[in-house]
Structure 1
Amino acid sequence: MTHYGGIDIGSRTIELVVVDEAGQVCASLQCDTGYDPLAATRSLIDAAPFDRIMATGYGRTLFEISFESRTVTEIKAHARGARALFGDAATIIDIGGQDSKAIALLENGRVKKFEMNDRCAAGTGKFLEIMARTLGFTIDDFGREALQAQNALTISSMCTVFAESEVTSLIAKGEDPRNIALGLHHSVIRRAAAMINRVSSAGDVVFTGGVARNPCMTELLAKQLGRRVLVPDEPQRIGALGAALLLMEEH
């Protein structure tokens, strides 16, 4: 039986998903990207046997050159992966470490329209990571702490540098870090919701990417949109799953 691998090389983590000829997942692995993404990539592909592989994500071009592999855009990979788990999925928001993408799908699952923010860290996982560190939270605790806030403070800037300075000033004034955290989450959600509404105005939204693991982001996004937000069990692995399935379907 032939096995097909999909690898998503992101700015913070790398995911590898292997499926069989029926599209069933046989292996699912993850590691940190670190300072040497090629070495991290080799550690994953050595741990999970496959016959063919397709790359997507931030580092897919590097992988294509180093391993002579096929590649697919993150847009197509996330569209296919989301549709595999949610058969009626028509709208996807993917927020990763370096960029965010809103994707609308046709009834047949093909991409209808998309919008992408990849020119600055605003609204991405990196932005949230820097803000969490500034407030003294771990990235894993950031969303949970924000949900404990009594009152969301307004953060006027989405530029990472200016926002960090604004947060530092609020801390110096004695403001509750949780209230600041909630304000930061609101600012990111407003940006994400606007992207989604520009590509799709109704229906459920599938939330993919590592930021989807943040419970505050999921809750606020649903409230802001007035739509149901669906989160896969492993949202950061949807791109790798989609790449593997697309490769399988080609053969």
Structure 2
Amino acid sequence: MSKSYLGVDVGSTTSKCVVIDDDRAILGMSLVTEGIGTEGSTKAVSEVLEQVGVRREDISKTVATGYGRKIFPDSDRKVSELSCHVKGVFSQVPEARTLIDIGGQDAKVMSITESGIMTNFQMNDKCAAGTGRFLDVMARILQLDVAQLEGEYFKAAKPSKISSTCTVFSESEVISQLASGEKREDVVAGICQSVATRFASLVMRVGITPTLCMSGGVAKNGGVRDALEKELGLQIVCPPNAQYMGALGAALYAWETEHGIIRL
């Protein structure tokens, strides 16, 4: 029977799992919109095991990553989300040299060597501005699902100016703009541009070497991607299932652990 390896990414707002086989091919993936401090990781593990058709005891090795990795039970190893996102993305896009990861509560930029090793990074985890949490708050004000922001962005004719760098102040600013009659799609475009402008400064601290890739939940938002590409003047490559790259990297570390390869 072929061996299976489990990667669990316990994030701030979601829990993701990936199972791979001994050839490092993806067998299954699961995502539960519950993060650290919830039963999200347990649910995600149950879902992916049922999907793949294996029992928990049949998993050869398990690696946990993400904000909640330290409190995830029954893992053979715990690895930082930085290393896991790099490994996951590099396995899908070997030409990746700079990686952007915008998650629920923080944002990261990482430099990657041609052999897939992270050499430098910058992280903004002091404020939720520009993260998935920020977009969730803005979407709620606009009475939209966060998945609808992309469509609104591309309808905009004149993006609004969002000047605040704080989520709370940005919320007040957006409410005022709506009250003054600005179109919802223009406000959405302004929000996406504000995320891009804020994040571009973080990217510049690391420096950009093409190919530029993006992972994490915000990578699914085409409006943010488009605004960021314009801000940076470079195309952004998104690997398939970009939100699962941390969990995939964790599964690959599980495979390496089983085979006696201990490296970050």
Fold shared per TM-score above 0.5: yes
Equivalence for 1:202 = 209
1:59 lines up with 2:60 in the alignment: no
1:144-179 CA-partner distances (Å, limit 9, x unpaired): 112211101111102011110111111111111111
CA contact 2:15–2:35 (8 Å) conserved in 1: no
Gapped regions of structure 2 (runs ≥ 5)? 260-264
Equivalence for 2:262 = none
Q: Where in structure 2 are the equivalents of 1:37-76 lying within 5 Å? A: 37=38, 39-47=39-47, 48=49, 49=54, 50-63=59-72, 66-76=73-83
Equivalence for 1:14 = 15
Call closer, same or farther: CA 1:242–1:183 in 2, change over 3 Å.
same
Deviation of 1:12 after TM superposition, in Å, equals 1.9
Q: Aligned to 1:202, what secondary structure does the other structure show?
A: coil
Deviation of 1:119 after TM superposition, in Å, equals 1.0
Deviation of 1:201 after TM superposition, in Å, equals 2.7
Q: Partners in 1 of 2:24 and 2:114 — Cα distance? A: 20
Deviation of 1:34 after TM superposition, in Å, equals 6.0
Q: Where in structure 2 are the equivalents of 1:67-106 lying within 5 Å? A: 67-106=74-113
Q: Cα RMSD (Å) of the superposition? A: 1.5
CA contact 2:98–2:211 (8 Å) conserved in 1: yes
Q: Where in structure 2 are the equivalents of 1:88-237 lying within 5 Å? A: 88-237=95-244
Q: Percent identity?
A: 38
Structure 2 length-normalised TM: 0.90
Q: Partners in 2 of 1:33 and 1:6 — Cα distance? A: 17
Deviation of 1:189 after TM superposition, in Å, equals 0.3
1:36-66 CA-partner distances (Å, limit 9, x unpaired): 52x2222232341322110111211111xx3
CA contact 1:6–1:54 (8 Å) conserved in 2: yes
Q: Partners in 2 of 1:21 and 1:174 — Cα distance? A: 58
Structure 1 residues 40-49 or 140-149, which shifts more? 40-49
CA contact 2:10–2:35 (8 Å) conserved in 1: no
Q: Partners in 1 of 2:80 and 2:174 — Cα distance? A: 35
CA contact 1:202–1:227 (8 Å) conserved in 2: no
Deviation of 1:200 after TM superposition, in Å, equals 2.4
Q: Partners in 2 of 1:222 and 1:36 — Cα distance? A: 35
CA contact 2:11–2:36 (8 Å) conserved in 1: no
Gapped regions of structure 1 (runs ≥ 5)? none
Q: Aligned to 1:137, what secondary structure does the other structure show?
A: coil
Q: Which amino acid aligns with 1:55?
A: A
Q: Partners in 1 of 2:163 and 2:203 — Cα distance? A: 21
CA contact 1:205–1:230 (8 Å) conserved in 2: yes
Call closer, same or farther: CA 1:45–1:244 in 2, change over 3 Å.
same
Q: Aligned to 1:27, what secondary structure does the other structure show?
A: strand
Structure 1 residues 85-94 or 172-181, which shifts more? 172-181
Call closer, same or farther: CA 1:87–1:68 in 2, change over 3 Å.
closer
Call closer, same or farther: CA 1:203–1:157 in 2, change over 3 Å.
same
Structure 1 residues 27-36 or 145-154, which shifts more? 27-36
